[in-house]
Amino acid sequence: MIKILLHLLPLFVFAGQISMEHAQIKPLGKIVRTNAQITQLSDQKQKIVSRLPGHIENYFVTTGQQVKKGDRVALIESIELSKMTAEYVALKQQARAAREQLATAKRLYKKGLLSQDELNAKIIEIEEILSKQSALASQMNSLGIDASKLKTATDQFILYAHADGIVGEIFIPLHSNVNAEDRLMSIVNQNGYYAIAYLGMEDAMKVTPKTTGFVTVAKKKYPAHFVQLLPTIDEETQRAKVLFMMMDTPKNMLINAFTEMEISLEPFRNAVMVRKSSLSLFQGEWVVFVEAHHEEEKHEGEEAHGHEAHGKEGDHDHEEGEEKAHGEHEEHEEVPYAPQVVKIIAYNGNDVAVEGIKAGEEYVADGVYFVKSMILKSSLGEHGH
């Protein structure tokens, strides 16, 4: 019993690492391998600008830092803002005085002591003050300053992130002077990435909305779908540029990085595909591992039945031989998987089109190393015996 448990223990351990899948029929086109550049659309990048000339007093973020919409990113000190807020505070006082004068003018007008023209002049005066005040309030609101709460002049304002993302680059050093439209930093939105694939003219003309591809990032492949054939040729490579949207990406991506891409072009045909991870070289041939079907089990059962019917004569003489045979069976338990030779037709992202396995047939998708180890161990054990 102990021998049996020791023999079965590796099977139990490996079982948790092995997963099975079924071979599937999928469309396969002409596979083109080319270079691609990781990018984002213009609306996915924030460009933080000062909006007013001033001096960078402080950065609240660093390159590579994750930020959320509304987070503080920089503090600017501006003489222009000081003038603007001082004027706004003065206009608030003028508006208060103008309202009082208008109220007095209305009372005098009712008593006939003030003409219509003089009353209209007071109304126009207060409207001009309120108009200037409203324009300044709108400018300050764009800078994140609540004009209604402003009581005294200030020369400092804070810049905020407009959306979630990661600080890509800080362009201007701390304590530098900046102009109104100078870019201080960029913030990259990580929700959407694209790949620009570089294709020859002949292949580019075969691209359709059904075209798909796989972008390689850090040795892993991520699916991408066709978006647009860009209207201009790359001047350096003289190749067409095709934009693909990446459907899945790793957490960290490097914008403008060049990588490899596989693109599947029409016409498509159906092919039996398995996971690329299921392939293994075994005795010089490409194989996938499938469940083994042992035909010998029936014959072994028949032989055992024949020995039982033979009678009891010589039972004692056979005990030693039976124990030996039983021991061999314990030591060389058959592995429940067998190699199935396949022919590789084409690689397609994380799948591979093959011949030699039928659609719907179950195979080992993950844990191939463990299955191969079990088979080799069993084979070495038999030869050793």
pLDDT at 188: 80
The correct CATH number of 52-78+157-184 out of 3.30.300.130, 3.40.50.620, 2.40.50.100, 3.40.50.720 is 2.40.50.100
Do 337 and 371 touch, CB atoms closer than 8 A?
yes
**The pTM is what?**
0.49
Domain regions of the chain by residue span: 2-27+273-384, 29-43+190-268, 52-78+157-184, 79-154
- Report the alpha-carbon distance of residue 310 to residue 320 in Å, rounded: 17
Residue 252 Rama label (left phi>0; alpha psi -120 to 50; beta)? beta
Supply the pLDDT for residue 5.
Answer: 42
Mean pLDDT by runs of 10 across the 385 residues of the chain is: 46 67 90 91 77 94 89 94 94 92 92 91 93 92 86 92 85 93 84 88 90 90 92 91 88 85 88 92 92 60 50 50 48 76 88 92 91 83 51
Phi, psi at residue 263, to the nearest 5°? -120, 135
Alpha-carbon separation of residue 200 from 100, 207, 261, 317 (angstroms): 77, 11, 14, 80
Domain 29-43+190-268 has CATH 3.30.365.10: no
DSSP output for 199-249: E-HHHHTT--TT-EEEEEETTEEEEEEEEEEEEEE-TTT--EEEEEEESS-
DSSP assigned state of 60: S
What is the per-residue pLDDT for 378? 79
Task: Give the pLDDT score at 301.
Answer: 52
**How many angstroms separate the CA atoms of 64 and 23, rounded?**
42
Q: What pLDDT sits at residue 126?
A: 93
pLDDT at 81: 94
Cα gap 185→206, rounded to integer Å:
40
**Cα–Cα dist 53/51, whole Å:** 7
User: What Rg, from alpha-carbon coordinates, does the chain have?
Assistant: 39
Rounded Cα distance between 313 and 155, Å, is: 112
Strands 212-217 and 177-178, sheet pairing: unpaired
Element (H, E) at 197: strand 194-199
> So what's the pLDDT on residue 180?
87
Q: pLDDT value at position 227?
A: 92
Cβ within 8 Å of residue 102, ≥6 positions away: 122, 123, 125, 126
Handedness of CA 124, 125, 128, 129 (dihedral sign): negative
